[in-house]
Structure 1
Amino acid sequence: MKRIYILIFTLSFGFTSLGSVNANGQDERHQFEKGLFELGYKTVEEAVNQCEKVFTEKIVLPYKIPPVQFTHYFGRCNKDFGINNTFEIIFLNKNTPENHYTLTLRPKKHAIKFKPEHIDKIVKLDNGKELFVVKRAANIFVFEGEDWQYFLGIDKRISKSVPLDVLVDIANSI
């Protein structure tokens, strides 16, 4: 009988310990996500639905993403900025901050026009349209689709892992 009590006590203690480790991990995870939700991010599906209603345009997204590990992705419909309204998706890795990729869409009627001195390179896409490469704090790749101007942003710290041809492939996947 003593052995059963010792076994039950040992198992209870073990499960309790595991539970508190998970609870702490859960708190950290929820804190990370909570901060993004407070900034207006939500699931990508919710953000797409919201922005399609706001812009009255269908949002077409690339079906490829960079070959980098991400732990989270969120969407946001920025709808209170007039001609600067956008739809945005961020891909993040909570444990590796440099694994950061953004996809931003602007209505084509409010597209940003880039001066030639701000364009580092021009690449032709499969559909004949041009992709502009703008390198500043992040590498930004800009191109236009039917109704949208697309911005692919990749952190410079991982640009060797995500070369231009990978981003062109992503742009061509729309």
Structure 2
Amino acid sequence: MKLNKSIPLLMFLLGFLIFGTNVEQIYGKTNNTPESFERVFTEVGYKTVDEALEDFEQHFKQELKLPLRIPPISFTHHFGRFSNLEGEINDAFEVKFISDQFPENHFKINVRPVKYRIGIGFSDNYVLKTFTLNNGSVAKYIEKPSLGFNFLVFERDNWEYLFSIDKKVSDKVTPEILVQIANSIDF
């Protein structure tokens, strides 16, 4: 009976000796505390929204306006990221609002130049509603079940904006609320 309980420990030690793995690599830190929520995002290129915005604007040499409003759900963190890939076709700016307490509270803003638009290209089969924003541009509310998010896509000042909201909170963050957020760019 005692031998059965010590087998996992022996396997761990054997793996440690054979592969040279240290405890810090397995657990992230020697005190067994999980890696910080923020660190995970910074390791994949996220930084402050202001830093990412500045990188994006310098790259494209054009100002980008962001909405003054966000969805009326709680968020604990927000991050920005500028993806500068080869060429400009896949370069984009992203703002992510998330909650470490409520994973479904997830709102994202993606922006790219209109000439490289992707969101407007969604099949009209997925467009549930169309809205006219305060600046006269058309916004499409898109629901594609396989993606787990609903989207509001519109163009403004030569940028394509794509707002994404987790389907699990779409009863709290309605298409009309996303339109209000889009209209807050005008102020």
In the superposition, the TM-score normalised over structure 1's length comes to 0.80
- Higher mean alpha-carbon deviation, 127-136 vs 115-124, is at 115-124
- Structure 1: state its 5+ residue gaps: 1-26
- Single out whichever of 144-153 and 117-126 deviates more from structure 2: 117-126
Q: Name the % identity.
A: 40
| Contact preservation (8 Å) 1:74, 1:90 | yes
**Which residue is equivalent to 2:90?**
84
The structure 2 residue matched to 1:119, chosen from 127, 131, 139, is 127
Number of residues paired by the alignment? Answer: 147
Structure 1 residue 81: deviation in Å?
4.6
Q: Provide the aligned C-alpha RMSD in A.
A: 1.3
Secondary structure, aligned partner of 1:64: coil
From 137, 140, 145, the equivalent of 2:151 is: 140
Distance in 2, Cα, partners of 1:110 & 1:57? 15
Residue 72 of structure 2 corresponds to: 67
Is residue 93 of structure 1 aligned with residue 104 of structure 2? Answer: no
Q: Could you tell me how far 1:124 is from its partner in structure 2?
A: 1.1
Q: How far apart, in 2, do the equivalents of 1:146 and 1:40 lie?
A: 26
Q: Deviation per CA, 1:109-146, whole angstroms, max 9, x where unpaired?
A: 21124232332221111121110111122001100011
How far off its partner does 1:39 sit? 0.7
Q: Which residue, 153, 170, 181 being the options, matches 1:170?
A: 181
Superposed, 1:5-20 pairs within 5 Å as none
Following TM superposition, the consecutive aligned residue runs of length 4 or more in structure 1 with deviations greater than 4 angstroms are none
Q: 2: distance between equivalents of 1:88 and 1:152? A: 10
> Which residue type is aligned with residue 82 of structure 2?
C
* Cα distance in 2 for residues equivalent to 1:152 and 1:56: 23
Give deviations 1:26-80, integer Å, cap 9, x for gaps: x55x621111001100000100111111111111101000011000000000111
Query: Partner residue of 2:115?
Result: 109
Q: SS state of the match for residue 134, structure 1?
A: strand
Corresponding residue of 1:3: none
